[in-house]
Chains A and B, each alone.
Chain A
């Protein structure tokens, strides 16, 4: 195995702080989180009815974000997912690029690990280039963030720029406490629709 086992343990950005930075001034932002660590990250930043954290559906986070962005063109939709989850649904990047919803941003917290299954290296640990895939699929705005300066520059693009936007944020591989959202899917659905639409 050629992956550099140590590299991702020295990336400076910490995923919980990145989630906090993305969500601290969220006003009306609709957030979908891929299963596992990203669902815990957005919950640690503050549980919210307009969060839709996934407990399964691996590979589906970005497509859920697309359906939501098409349905609510006046709202900003942010998908936060992991590198492993994104790798399982790469085709959805090509699908999103065709529809090109300007209100959709996809952010990958890339720790180069399958965090929920024992921190095994993902394809990004071996060099797979997720923003490269997004760009080649037709995303007009793509980028990679490696440090705090990069994050500061990317935040307004992720939250406001006409998209679809795709950013890959390299984050430290670290074991963190679980901060769990509700796990009943019906509750997650109903509270989301109630907050957004006024009906369940």
Chain B
């Protein structure tokens, strides 16, 4: 299961990503486990996603590349902190697992899920969407290359059908 997560892990290693900031998330479970288990990565457990935006700004000032993992509900937590990234033209790569779009059990996930792309675009991100597991590696690789070569900001949205369905026991 989640072989796409292993593909993404390999791409991140290849891209020189060394700080992996995350708020725990079911969709990213496998990738987070891989990053925590690998000595080349520093996996940083956050209390809120905006910490990750700030963390990776500091990482870049120190010459290290990072990635921020979140689910779509985390986007809203970051909006003001994105001003740091944009004002300083810092690179920022985000991998976002989507909620609220595919057999979603929890209607409270809909507002952020439905507006994820719009909010990210407004905040100055390029947004790429992955709907098929086989496309994950190539999309993330392209995004990482662009982000770190050109000091830009890209979010890769991983469609909810890539991740396990949450049913709350129903």
Contacts and interface: CB of A to CB of B under 8 A. Distances in A.
Interface string B44-72: 11111011111111111111101000000
A68 B53 CA distance: 13
Given A67-B54, A189-B89, A58 B80 contact: yes
Nearest to A56: B83
Contacts of A71: 18-19, 58-59, 61-64
Given A67-B19, A185-B89, A57 B66 contact: no
Given A70-B42, A189-B90, 15 more contacts: A54-B84, A59-B54, A60-B81, A64-B84, A66-B55, A67-B62, A68-B58, A70-B44, A70-B64, A71-B61, A71-B64, A91-B48, A185-B87, A185-B89, A196-B63
17 contacts: A56-B83, A57-B54, A57-B80, A57-B81, A59-B50, A59-B81, A63-B51, A63-B52, A63-B58, A65-B58, A67-B60, A68-B61, A68-B62, A70-B59, A71-B64, A91-B46, A185-B87
Interface of A: 30, 32, 52, 54-72, 75, 89, 91-92, 94-95, 98-99, 185-186, 188-189, 192-193, 196-197
Interface of B: 18-19, 42, 44-48, 50-64, 66, 80-81, 83-84, 87-90
